[in-house]
């Protein structure tokens, strides 16, 4: 099953509980627009290379399409479609006025210099500028893209359309970015973890946590969970993994990772045999915060954590989801757990459009309120309907998107 089929399966499960008609199911299974573009740039050594870029706009019933741009060798049309659909449901669960989109370029950015990445990003904007816009479709960072890429997009788009900082979110704080945006997804993951534990009468203080992925989401999740009193005992990334049952000094681990390009060799714990070993640690909470499809039918039975909080998008395949559900594992689903990023993106968009800035405290406080409210809503639906948190989150999201679509009309 590919990523798009998996997303539609989760969607379909909720849709059948809601008794949606097959025509409405088909409507929401079908992206509104899929764009594929060839991106040709000159490399630093004079060679010419062509890359494939994608933008999928899944649904805009509740507002402009919104979603990140991923630069990764595994980016393909199915993955982009799946992630675009997840964005539709995520923006609805957390109740920000956006639809869902996603984009990406099939490339390993490690193979490109800074200047080559800039040229590639600018060519991408040239190819998709007429389908994006601050009231139309607003890209943001995702795997291997960050504030610098957003600055290039803002600049290139503005060359064509005039000064338009609202074209992207996740911009550098010095260039219309929002305070608190960089940490927002991790902060949301930490709040989601705390609320899920609380709902099961457990305390975040002293809870043990393993984290897979130590980039933007992983580092901020670790740092904020630790500040809430949790003990981070295992961290893994693409370079390796470490464990320390007394608790890893997260800030030292972050500094190490920045300096060495990965967690491998970190001297604040002992190395695990491979990066995936963190998934199977005997901890209270597992936070997958790397790529999708890492918890599968083949390894789900080996997951020992009773709580899985999905920092990454689509880390659990549907087969694994069923196995974990049967085992009684509480899965806090991606469309809620990692929604902190798009929430603060919506705050950034509002600030940019108003030419006004909020303090970091204001941003964090507004984020916290939304994360708690959304958790309470999906927890209530899960309890009332005796369904998983994932199905409950889809039910809430589909209800909101469906209502908007009906009110606006179909054409």
Piece in contact with ligand NAD (CB under 6 A), picked from 8-16, 57-65, 158-166, 308-316: 308-316
**Which has the closest alpha carbon to 7: 84, 68, 76?**
84
Concerning whether 102 is annotated as a catalytic residue, the answer is: yes
**CA pair distance 217, 170, nearest whole angstrom:** 13
Give me the least distance between CB of 310 and ligand NAD, in Å please.
9
Measured from the CB atom, the residue of 145 and 377 that comes closer to ligand NAD is 145
Region 260-299 residues binding ligand NAD, contact defined as CB under 6 A: 275, 289-292
Q: What DSSP character marks residue 275? A: G
Instruction: Give the side-chain half-sphere CA count within 13 A for 351.
Output: 25
Measured from the CB atom, the residue of 65 and 387 that comes closer to ligand NAD is 65
Per CB under 6 A, 238 contacts ligand NAD = yes
Q: What radius of gyration, in Å, describes the C-alpha atoms of the chain? A: 20
- Burial per residue of 84-97, b for 16 or more beta-carbon CB atoms within 10 angstroms, e otherwise: bbbbbbbbbbbbbe
How far lies 249's CA from each of 161, 182, 226, 229, 358, in Å? 47, 21, 9, 12, 31
* Residue 340 CB-density burial (10 A; 0-12 exposed, 13-18 middle, 19+ buried): buried
Return the residue of 75, 217, 254, 367 that touches ligand NAD, per CB under 6 A: 217
Measured from the CB atom, the residue of 128 and 344 that comes closer to ligand NAD is 344
Give me the least distance between CB of 312 and ligand NAD, in Å please.
3
Per CB under 6 A, 144 contacts ligand NAD = yes
Per CB under 6 A, 311 contacts ligand NAD = yes
Return the residue of 117, 178, 212, 346 that touches ligand NAD, per CB under 6 A: 212
CB 204 within 8 A of CB 183: no
Give me the least distance between CB of 42 and ligand NAD, in Å please.
26
SS3 content of the chain, % helix, strand, coil (to 5): 50, 20, 35
Return the residue of 7, 178, 185, 388 that touches ligand NAD, per CB under 6 A: 185
Return the residue of 141, 177, 293, 333 that touches ligand NAD, per CB under 6 A: 141
Which residues, 6+ apart, have CB-to-CB distance to 29 below 8 Å? 8, 11, 12, 85
Q: Which residue has the closest beta carbon to ligand NAD?
A: 215
Give me the least distance between CB of 211 and ligand NAD, in Å please.
9
Measured from the CB atom, the residue of 28 and 336 that comes closer to ligand NAD is 336
Give me the least distance between CB of 159 and ligand NAD, in Å please.
26
Measured from the CB atom, the residue of 214 and 387 that comes closer to ligand NAD is 214
Residue 351: other Cβ atoms inside 10 A: 23
Residue 352 CA, distance from chain mean position: 22
CB 207 within 8 A of CB 284: yes
Query: Strand, helix or coil at 6?
Result: helix
Per CB under 6 A, 236 contacts ligand NAD = yes
Question: Strands (DSSP E) along 272-349, which ranges?
Answer: 285-288, 307-309, 330-332
Give me the least distance between CB of 50 and ligand NAD, in Å please.
24
Return the residue of 104, 139, 218, 333 that touches ligand NAD, per CB under 6 A: 218
Query: Strand, helix or coil at 120?
Result: helix
Return the residue of 65, 214, 256, 336 that touches ligand NAD, per CB under 6 A: 214
- Annotated catalytic residue, options 81, 102, 110, 366: 102
Residues that bind ligand NAD (CB under 6 A): 141-144, 185, 212-218, 236-238, 275, 289-292, 311-313, 338, 341
Residues annotated catalytic, as ranges: 102
């Amino acid at each position: 099953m590919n990523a798009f089929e998996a997303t539609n399966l989760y969607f379909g499960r909720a849709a059948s509980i809601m008794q949606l008609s097959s025509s409405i199911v088909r409507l929401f299974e079908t992206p509104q627009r899929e764009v594929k573009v060839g991106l040709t740039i000159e490399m630093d050594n004079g060679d010419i290379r062509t890359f494939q870029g994608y933008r999928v706009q899944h649904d805009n019933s509740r507002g402009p399409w919104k979603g990140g741009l991923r630069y990764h060798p595994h980016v393909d049309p199915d993955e982009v479609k799946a992630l675009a659909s997840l964005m539709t449901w995520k923006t609805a669960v957390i109740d920000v006025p956006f639809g869902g989109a996603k984009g990406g370029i099939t490339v390993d950015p490690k193979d490109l210099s800074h200047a080559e990445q800039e040229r590639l990003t600018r060519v991408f904007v040239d190819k998709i500028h007429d389908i994006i816009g601050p009231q139309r479709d607003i890209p943001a960072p995702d795997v291997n893209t960050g504030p610098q890429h957003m600055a290039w997009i803002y600049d290139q788009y503005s060359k064509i359309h005039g000064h338009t900082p609202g074209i992207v979110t996740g911009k550098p704080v010095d260039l219309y970015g929002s305070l608190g945006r960089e940490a927002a997804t991790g902060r949301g993951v930490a709040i989601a973890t705390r609320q899920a534990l609380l709902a099961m009468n457990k305390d975040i203080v002293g809870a043990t946590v393993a984290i897979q992925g130590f980039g933007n989401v992983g580092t901020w999740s670790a740092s904020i969970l630790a500040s809430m009193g949790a003990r981070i005992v295992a961290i893994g990334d693409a370079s390796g993994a470490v464990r320390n049952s007394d608790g890893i000094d997260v800030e030292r681990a972050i500094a190490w990772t920045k300096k060495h390009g990965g967690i491998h060799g970190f001297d604040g714990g002992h190395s695990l045999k491979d990066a995936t070993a963190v998934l199977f640690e005997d901890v209270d909470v597992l936070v997958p915060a790397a790529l999708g499809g890492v918890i599968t039918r083949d390894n789900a039975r080996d997951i020992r954590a009773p709580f899985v909080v999905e920092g990454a998008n689509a880390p659990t395949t549907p087969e694994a989801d069923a196995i974990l559900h049967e085992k009684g594992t509480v899965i806090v689903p991606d469309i809620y757990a990692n929604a902190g990023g798009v929430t603060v993106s919506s705050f950034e968009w509002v600030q940019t459009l108003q030419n006004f800035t909020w303090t970091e405290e204001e941003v964090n406080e507004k984020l916290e309120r939304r994360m708690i409210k959304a958790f309470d809503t999906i927890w209530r639906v899960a309890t009332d309907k005796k369904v998983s948190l994932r199905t409950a989150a889809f039910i809430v999201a589909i209800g909101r998107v469906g209502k908007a679509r009906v009110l606006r009309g179909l054409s």
